[in-house]
Amino acid sequence: MFSKLGCLTQLKFLNRAGQFQFAWICVVATSCLFVGSFEAIADSDFEMHEVASGVWVHTGQIGDFAPENRGDLANLSFVIGERCVAVIDTGGSRSVGEALLGAIRRKTKLPVCYVMTSHMHPDHLLGHAAFLNEHPQFVAAATQAKALSIRRMGYLARQKATLGESLSKGTEVILPTHPVTGSEQFDLGGRFLTVQTWRTAHTDNDVTVQDSQTQTLFTGDLLFVDHLPVIDGSIKGWLAILPELRALAQGPVVPGHGPDTQKDGLKAFSLEQDYLMSVASEVRAALRAHQTLQQAVSATKLPEGTWKLADLYHRRNITAAFAELEWED
C-alpha cells in the first residue's frame, strides 16, 4: 500500500551558522495517514471477472463481518468508459476498497469519476475512503445521507468490534456528495450509467445502476442470490417493485450478494419473490390468529431450499414484516 518513504518530505533550512541543511519530516497527508494501519488484501485473494465488455465484478463472500473476510461480503463492480471509471459499491472496510482500487488500476489508468452506492449498509460502502484521493463524486439516493448519518457511528463501532482494531483502521463513513432523486444518467465517455432510485424496499435508499452499452443491471440488495434476502425497509414495497426490476433485466444481472446471473436473472427474481411472499403470508396468518410478535417469531421455521444465512436473518425478517403488516388495512 503506502510506504513510509511516501510520508517523508525533505525541508531546506538555515542553521545558526547560516549554512543550509536538510531535514526529513513526516507531512500529514491523506495518503500517509494509514501507513501500516491495515493489511493489504493480496491480488490473488481478490478476484474479478468481466461479465460484459468493460464491466468487472468481484463476488463477495456470503457471511457476516469477521476478521477472516475483512468485511469482503458484498458484490463490488466497476465500469470502464472512454473518459473515466464508475465504481458500484466498495466493500465493508478500507482494505477491501484498496483491493478494489488496485484491481481497477490493473485494468485501466483512467480516473475514477463516480463511486455509486447501492444503499446505506456498511458492507457496501465502508471501502469508500480508499477512493478519496481519486476525488470522485459519491453518488447515492437523496434519502441516503440522513439514514447514513444516523448510523455512521454504530457502523464504525460494530466494524471495530467484529474485525478488530488493525483491520478497522483507516475506514471512514463517507456521505454522498451527489444525491439522486428519481433517475439520473452519468456519462463515462462512450457509455452512460442510469442511476434509478426506488420506493422503500430493502432499505429506504436503494438504487439500481444500469449500463447503457451492455444493459448490465446492478441491483444492489434489491436482489439476493443464494444469500437469504434481508428486510430493512418495507416488505410490501419490495414485493411491489420486483416486477419493475424484472422488466429491467435485459442483460447480465449483478445482485448485491451471490453470483451474478448471465442467463437466469428472471429465476433469481422469482426465488426472491417467493421467499418474501412466504414471509408476508406467514406473518399475516399470525396476525389473523392474534399472535404476538414473540409467538410469531418462536413459531416460525427456517425456509426450505438452499438459502444461506437463514439462521441469521429469517427470524429478523419475520420481526420486520410483523412490525409493518400489523398496521396494514
Instruction: Name 93's Cβ contacts closer than 8 Å, sequence gap at least 6.
Output: 38, 70, 71, 72, 126, 127, 159, 163, 167, 168, 171
Residue 219, pLDDT > 60, answer yes
> What pLDDT, on a 0 to 100 scale, did the predictor assign at position 295?
98
Q: How confident is the model at residue 169 (pLDDT cuts 50, 70, 90)?
A: confident
Task: Write the single-letter amino acid at 305.
Answer: G
> What pLDDT, on a 0 to 100 scale, did the predictor assign at position 38?
45
Task: Write the single-letter amino acid at 87.
Answer: V
pLDDT in tens, 103-125: 999 999 999 999 999 999 999 99
Instruction: Name 193's Cβ contacts closer than 8 Å, sequence gap at least 6.
Output: 79, 86, 114, 116, 185, 186, 209, 210, 211, 212
Q: How confident is the model at residue 9 (pLDDT cuts 50, 70, 90)?
A: very low
> What pLDDT, on a 0 to 100 scale, did the predictor assign at position 320?
98
How far apart are the C-alpha atoms of 120 and 128, rounded to whole Å? 12
How far apart are the C-alpha atoms of 199 and 206, rounded to whole Å? 8
pLDDT in tens, 173-191: 999 999 999 999 999 999 9
| Greater pLDDT, 42 or 273 | 273
pLDDT in tens, 159-168: 999 999 888 8
> What pLDDT, on a 0 to 100 scale, did the predictor assign at position 266?
82
Q: Are the C-beta atoms of residues 255 and 268 closer than 8 Å to each other?
A: yes
Task: Write the single-letter amino acid at 45.
Answer: D
> What pLDDT, on a 0 to 100 scale, did the predictor assign at position 263?
64
For residue 88, list its beta bridge partners. Answer: 77, 116
Q: How confident is the model at residue 312 (pLDDT cuts 50, 70, 90)?
A: very high
Q: Are the C-beta atoms of residues 112 and 134 closer than 8 Å to each other?
A: yes
| Greater pLDDT, 264 or 192 | 192
Q: Are the C-beta atoms of residues 207 and 197 closer than 8 Å to each other?
A: yes
In the chain, pLDDT over 70 holds for what percent of residues?
Answer: 85
Instruction: Measure the CA angle with vertex 198, ends 159 and 124; round to 5°.
Output: 20
**Domain locations in the chain as residue ranges:** 1-36, 43-268
- In the predicted model, what is the mean pLDDT of the chain? 88
How far apart are the C-alpha atoms of 261 and 251, rounded to whole Å? 9
pLDDT in tens, 19-55: 333 333 333 333 333 333 345 665 657 899 999 999 9
What is the CATH code of the structural domain delimited by 43-268? 3.60.15.10
Residue 8, pLDDT > 60, answer no
How far apart are the C-alpha atoms of 105 and 98, rounded to whole Å? 10
Q: Are the C-beta atoms of residues 99 and 90 closer than 8 Å to each other?
A: no
User: What does the pLDDT average to over 73-92?
Assistant: 98
What is the spatial order of strands in the sheet that 137-141 belongs to? 49-52, 55-58, 76-80, 85-88, 112-116, 137-141, 178-180
Give a three-class secondary structure readout of the chain.
CCCHHHHEEEEEEECCCCCEEEEEEECCCCCCCCCCCCCCCCHHHCCCEEEECCEEEECCCCCCCCCCCCCCCCCEEEEECCCCEEEECCCCCHHHHHHHHHHHHHHCCCCEEEEECCCCCHHHHCCHHHHHHHCCEEEEECCHHHHHHHHHHHHHHHHHHHHCHHHHCCCCCCCCCEEECCEEEEECCCCEEEEEECCCCCCCCCEEEEECCCCCEEEEEEEECCECCCCCCCHHHHHHHHHHHHHHCCCCEEEEECCCECCCHHHHHHHHHHHHHHHHHHHHHHHHCCCCHHHHHHHCCCCCCCCECHHHHHHHHHHHHHHHHCCCC
How far apart are the C-alpha atoms of 83 and 310, rounded to whole Å? 43
> What pLDDT, on a 0 to 100 scale, did the predictor assign at position 113?
98
> What pLDDT, on a 0 to 100 scale, did the predictor assign at position 77?
98
> What pLDDT, on a 0 to 100 scale, did the predictor assign at position 2?
31
Q: Identify the weakest region by mean pLDDT among 10-24, 59-73, 200-214.
A: 10-24
